[in-house]
Amino acid sequence: MTGNDIVILGRLADPYGIRGWIRVHPYGDDPLAWAEMPVWWISRDGEAWRECGLKGFKAHANGLVALLDGVNDRNASEAMKGMLVGAPREALPSTDEDEFYWADLIGLDVVNTADERLGKVAGLIETGANAVLRIVGDDEAEHLVPFVSAVVLAVDKEAGRIRVEWGSDW
């Protein structure tokens, strides 16, 4: 399966305990729904995706922990640290009108209300309070724009554009 077929959902973080559990850093609002997927796809950035069975997934303290097939101890979970977690787009639920998978926003042009082009979405950053669009302009200037309704006025995936209330010199 190619990277274009996979929607990145999050990344594996630090080991949790000695029995193979690993902390998960989600890139979305409803990560507990991932428990319904019996198989996750995992990869290091730039490598091929591979299937990995899910044995357990739960909320714990202020985060999430997962137990994956073949990961039976702390050393094995340590080796998984930093891997991306994804799923084929067809395995994911459809989004509501004002909901988006991060993968759908990457590459969209960003234009402000003065019709100034700020650049393209190069990535998103999860801050805890809200997501932030990382926009890179043609001149390599970077804008960090909060992905909140007061700033992001419209997302038109078909036109490939996001309209924002944000100055080009901010």
pLDDT digits (tens, 9 = 90+) for 55-70: 999 998 888 999 999 9
Class (C level, CATH) for 3-91: mainly beta
pLDDT digits (tens, 9 = 90+) for 140-160: 999 999 999 999 999 999 999
pLDDT of residue 18: 96
Q: Are 24 and 66 a contacting pair, CB within 8 Å?
A: yes
pLDDT of residue 108: 97
Average pLDDT over residues 127-136: 90
Query: What's the CA angle centered on 158, arms 3 and 133, to 5 degrees?
Result: 65
111: enclosing H helix or E strand: strand 109-112
Q: Are 57 and 65 a contacting pair, CB within 8 Å?
A: yes
Residues of the chain with CATH 2.30.30.240: 102-164
Here the tokens at position 154 are 């419209």
Q: Are 112 and 167 a contacting pair, CB within 8 Å?
A: yes
What does DSSP say about strands 109-112 and 50-60: parallel, antiparallel, or unpaired?
Answer: unpaired
- Give the separation between CA 170 and CA 141, rounded to whole angstroms: 11
Closest CA to 123 of 110, 136, 112: 136
Q: Which residue has the tokens 């999860």?
A: 126
Band of pLDDT at residue 4, cut at 50, 70 and 90: low
Answering whether pTM is above 0.95, one says no
Class (C level, CATH) for 102-164: mainly beta
pLDDT of residue 84: 95
User: Using alpha carbons only, how large is the chain's radius of gyration in Å?
Assistant: 18
pLDDT of residue 97: 82
Say yes or no to pLDDT of 88 above 80: yes
124: enclosing H helix or E strand: strand 117-126
Residues in the chain: 170
**Measuring CA to CA, how many Å separate 39 from each of 14, 51, 54, 67, 91?**
20, 6, 6, 12, 10
Percent of the chain with pLDDT over 70: 97
pLDDT of residue 102: 84
Residues of the chain with CATH 2.40.30.60: 3-91
pLDDT digits (tens, 9 = 90+) for 8-63: 889 999 999 999 999 999 887 678 888 888 899 999 988 999 999 999 999 988 88
More confident residue, 152 or 3: 152
